[in-house]
Structure 1
Amino acid sequence: MLKVQLSAEPSQGVWGSNALISYQDETVTIHYSGDFPLRRIQQAARQLQSQGATQASLEGEGWSYERQWSFYCGFAATAVPVELKWASIDEDELELLNARRRSNDWVRKVVNATPEDMYPEKLAGEAIEYLSSIAGDKVSHELLVGEQLLDHGWIGTHSVGRASSRPPVMLTLDYNPTGDVDAPVAACLVGKGITFDSGGYSLKPSAGMVTMKCDMGGAATVTAALGYAIEQGLRQRVKLILCCAENMVAGNAYKLGDVLTYKNGLTVEVVNTDAEGRLVLADGLIAASETQAPLIIDAATLTGAAMMAVGTDYNALFSMDRELLFKAQQLSELVNEPAWPLPLEKWHQSNCPSHYADTANSRAQKGGGMGGASNAAAFLSRFVDAEQSRWIHFDLAACFRDAPDSRWAAGATGLGIANIAAMLL
């Protein structure tokens, strides 16, 4: 294995004083001095992996928990399995590193899979298998497939997914470690699971469609967050709701101008079939409100507008509960998964008007027009019972990279998992 050590001193000699990495026989030294040392360590790990290294052993002094995790983030590859031996640290921190890696590796596996291999029922099955492997018989689940969704009133998920030859699915998974079937639900997680997004009749161009296997990143993230929280000792009952579909084009696809009537009575005019994520999440948020959980967290790769606002290093946060919003941002800093609040007020709900329904699912403009991320979050807020539940929405701008950069391999990053797990704990 490649031996990797740390140095707070600048590199010397032929490597130059600004080099991230220097080499001595079988050992690589990462020089992390300067601004943003964790980013420098991650960049160095990315360089090593991109040069072909797939096995590394972290050795010597200075390898704190945060530094080791930064190295993992850069060393993890898109499609090649990597082997990483942690440095000797406190046993509890070692367990935490292993648990966090397992959750992140699972997200990479399911998000980076091809859309042919990761379809709605497969995603739901992978989530059940993953959480059952951690929590055993403390996990139970209900799966609604295809026309069963209509029988239960889940019009959004059914409409978005009905044009695919592979049916839409809603998974409700119940983690109940109490042993009491009547135990209250402490929190509910809702994830957007669009396993492939063509845009529907609002068809995406090829350049915008090629990475749309990532559109189930929200479902993957909340699933992994629950698994990571369980491994850290979560002892409260939590429900997970994944709304899974392929957004495809066919003769029976949902259309522009359709009006959907949701289970809570709200009517929605479809003015953009590529604003499908909020339509499936609406079902999940209604179902979450039915549990009467005091905390509802949803996560989705929802808008390009959020990416334009915060870039791909931050996730965007939305809530009308200022205290909850501040707590989520504090926790994001604690776990080194940057997140930033964007505006959301009650009046944002009126920014997508319709002549034919209570609201439209967007504006009939490119990207949903100005303030698109806030308007999308406001749409979601209509489906939460705010009188009994505190709610926060993660627009996962940072959870996927279309191409490799100086710190990340192409594909899933896992950013958001630890943040949401920390909120559960």
Structure 2
Amino acid sequence: MAEFTVSLSRNSAEAVWGESAKLSFTESGAIIHLPDDKLNERLIQQAARKLDGLSLPAVTLSGDWHKEQQWAFALSFTRARKPASIKWAETADKEALEQEYSALLFTRQLVNETPEDLSPETLATRAAQWLKSLGGDKVTYSMTVGEDLKEQGWIGIYNVGRGSERPPAMLVLDYNPTGNADAPVDAVLVGKGITFDSGGYSIKSSEGMLDMKCDMGGAATVTGALGLSISQGSEKRIQLILCCAENLISGHAYKLGDVLTYKNGVTVEVVNTDAEGRLVLADGLMAATETGAPLIIDAATLTGAAVVALGSDYHGVFSLDDNAREQMLKAAKAENERFWPLPLEDFHAERCPSAFADTANSRPMKGGGGGGASNAAGFLSRFVKPEGWVHLDLAAAYHGGATSEMPVGATAKGIRSIARMLKDFSA
């Protein structure tokens, strides 16, 4: 079968394709017509969506493409089901694009997986096996599952996941290229891995539950970022902690009014079982802090409030450390990914008060009330050292429906920025 080639042109399309047409076809493929010398990523994305609608098995990018133009095409051309393969243009960026695209495919496929096939243990196992395939002997890991979580004091993950017949799991993975078991840990990535979120007894609507297979998007994103970092030859010691559970309803599920006592002594009243992500991340952040790493990044599809604030175009960035926040934003800008800072101050830790515990896990009102994303970040701040900590609320991780620029499903946006942050961060 002949190759279907896609090229760029600064010339206008022939009139037969319509007035101001941005896409035209030849015997061997298609031409995307750009109006000027700018990158025009949105225009390329829109053209890629139209081409993706043709259900092509493969395309070859030919001619003069900037790296970011190729990446924009890939983001939009890669459909959720049976994605076509992409052959990159013969440029100096080809190897880098192959590494990044491999991480994107893994991340998207994991998030798009049906929840029946992705239990908490399966999520942790697949993440570990993929990273092991990239890092070989430099990667070691352990999993704590079910009742062992309770015995070891990881009560957030345990309680959120105990309502399911499929037990919760905590993955701790160590990428250590130094060969020295006593080498300091340079960074820790923590991911929310809720493989399905019914909302628990604070049950979601059917429509609100439909896309909740994506609630492990944080775990997939940090795994994809670490895999990309390993592929890029990172020489830093980086740990990954995934907090995996199914949030379901049963006679064994956690309930509203329960008070959880964490390892660090903080007591938490459960006023909303659908504010479960912060409960599992609290365990991961405590474990990350124990390593003494100067950089801790957690990522989660945590709040609807972040989506209300940012839409599905940006990831929210929170930090009590100005230096860490600015470096995260700088990394995102360098990778041409949309990250945006949202407020977090010390007082946000007090914004979910409880008469029965040190704090509640939310406020007892729809969506957690005003400032819900900041209040969630404030809750997390109780469980992590503020220096070098960045919290990412992944509003742009998933699209419930296709748009003119993006396919339905997982986006994998953020993996490049996090990998860049791991490489460039200085305390």
Q: Is the 8 A contact 1:157 1:243 kept in 2?
A: yes
Alignment partner, residue 299 of structure 1? 299
Tell me, in whole angstroms, the C-alpha distance in 2 between the residues paired with 1:96 and 1:48: 24
Tell me, in whole angstroms, the C-alpha distance in 1 between the residues paired with 2:278 and 2:287: 14
Alignment partner, residue 198 of structure 2? 198
Alignment partner, residue 228 of structure 1? 228
Taking structure 1 as reference, are residues 396 and 274 closer, same or farther at Cα in structure 2, changes over 3 Å only?
same
Query: Could you tell me how far 1:36 is from its partner in structure 2?
Result: 6.5
Equivalences for residues 64-103 of structure 1 within 5 A: 64-90=66-92, 93-103=93-103
Report whether the alignment pairs 1:42 with 2:45. Answer: yes
Tell me, in whole angstroms, the C-alpha distance in 1 between the residues paired with 2:31 and 2:315: 32
Q: Which moved more, 1:321-330 or 1:336-345?
A: 321-330
Tell me, in whole angstroms, the C-alpha distance in 1 between the residues paired with 2:200 and 2:190: 23
- Using structure 2 for the length normalisation, give the TM-score: 0.97
Tell me, in whole angstroms, the C-alpha distance in 1 between the residues paired with 2:28 and 2:362: 57
Query: Could you tell me how far 1:279 is from its partner in structure 2?
Result: 0.2
Q: Which moved more, 1:13-22 or 1:325-334?
A: 13-22
Q: Which moved more, 1:16-25 or 1:37-46?
A: 16-25
Alignment partner, residue 413 of structure 2? 415
Equivalences for residues 8-23 of structure 1 within 5 A: 8-23=10-25
Report whether the alignment pairs 1:400 with 2:403. Answer: no
Q: Is the 8 A contact 1:10 1:17 kept in 2?
A: no
Q: Is the 8 A contact 2:243 2:284 kept in 1?
A: yes
Tell me, in whole angstroms, the C-alpha distance in 2 between the residues paired with 1:381 and 1:418: 25
Tell me, in whole angstroms, the C-alpha distance in 2 between the residues paired with 1:150 and 1:291: 21
Tell me, in whole angstroms, the C-alpha distance in 1 between the residues paired with 2:380 and 2:332: 22
Q: Which moved more, 1:12-21 or 1:213-222?
A: 12-21
Tell me, in whole angstroms, the C-alpha distance in 2 between the residues paired with 1:153 and 1:315: 31
Q: Is the 8 A contact 1:194 1:277 kept in 2?
A: yes
User: Which residue identity is paired with 1:406?
Assistant: S
Q: Is the 8 A contact 2:119 2:195 kept in 1?
A: yes
Tell me, in whole angstroms, the C-alpha distance in 1 between the residues paired with 2:179 and 2:31: 50
Report whether the alignment pairs 1:317 with 2:317. Answer: yes
Alignment partner, residue 273 of structure 1? 273
Question: What's the secondary structure of 2:116's corresponding residue?
Answer: coil
In structure 2, list runs of 5 or more residues that go unmatched: none
What are the superposed Cα offsets for residues 166-202 of structure 1, whole Å, 9 maximum, x if unpaired?
Answer: 0000000000000100000000000000000000000
Alignment partner, residue 283 of structure 1? 283
Alignment partner, residue 121 of structure 2? 121
Report whether the alignment pairs 1:376 with 2:353. Answer: no
Equivalences for residues 164-243 of structure 1 within 5 A: 164-243=164-243
Query: Could you tell me how far 1:33 is from its partner in structure 2?
Result: 2.0
Query: Could you tell me how far 1:215 is from its partner in structure 2?
Result: 0.2
Alignment partner, residue 424 of structure 1? 422
Tell me, in whole angstroms, the C-alpha distance in 1 between the residues paired with 2:207 and 2:143: 34
User: Which residue identity is paired with 2:26?
Assistant: Q
Tell me, in whole angstroms, the C-alpha distance in 2 between the residues paired with 1:21 and 1:291: 52
Aligned to 1:57, which of 53, 56, 60?
Answer: 60
Query: Could you tell me how far 1:20 is from its partner in structure 2?
Result: 2.0
Tell me, in whole angstroms, the C-alpha distance in 2 between the residues paired with 1:267 and 1:20: 58
Tell me, in whole angstroms, the C-alpha distance in 2 between the residues paired with 1:36 and 1:139: 38
Tell me, in whole angstroms, the C-alpha distance in 1 between the residues paired with 2:296 and 2:55: 42
Q: Is the 8 A contact 1:313 1:398 kept in 2?
A: yes
Percentage of identical aligned residues: 56
What are the superposed Cα offsets for residues 375-413 of structure 1, whole Å, 9 maximum, x if unpaired?
Answer: 001101110023xx4100010000111011111111111
Tell me, in whole angstroms, the C-alpha distance in 2 between the residues paired with 1:359 and 1:211: 29
Report whether the alignment pairs 1:332 with 2:335. Answer: no
Q: Is the 8 A contact 1:32 1:38 kept in 2?
A: no
Alignment partner, residue 32 of structure 1? 34
Q: Is the 8 A contact 2:39 2:69 kept in 1?
A: no
Query: Could you tell me how far 1:55 is from its partner in structure 2?
Result: 1.1
Alignment partner, residue 258 of structure 1? 258
Q: Is the 8 A contact 1:314 1:338 kept in 2?
A: yes
Tell me, in whole angstroms, the C-alpha distance in 1 between the residues paired with 2:269 and 2:238: 32
Cα RMSD over matched residues?
1.1
In structure 1, list runs of 5 or more residues that go unmatched: none
Q: Is the 8 A contact 2:39 2:68 kept in 1?
A: no
Question: What's the secondary structure of 1:382's corresponding residue?
Answer: helix
- Using structure 1 for the length normalisation, give the TM-score: 0.97
Tell me, in whole angstroms, the C-alpha distance in 1 between the residues paired with 2:80 and 2:34: 25
Query: Could you tell me how far 1:245 is from its partner in structure 2?
Result: 0.1
Question: What's the secondary structure of 1:397's corresponding residue?
Answer: coil
What are the superposed Cα offsets for residues 47-71 of structure 1, whole Å, 9 maximum, x if unpaired?
Answer: 10012223111112x2111111111
Tell me, in whole angstroms, the C-alpha distance in 2 between the residues paired with 1:326 and 1:239: 22
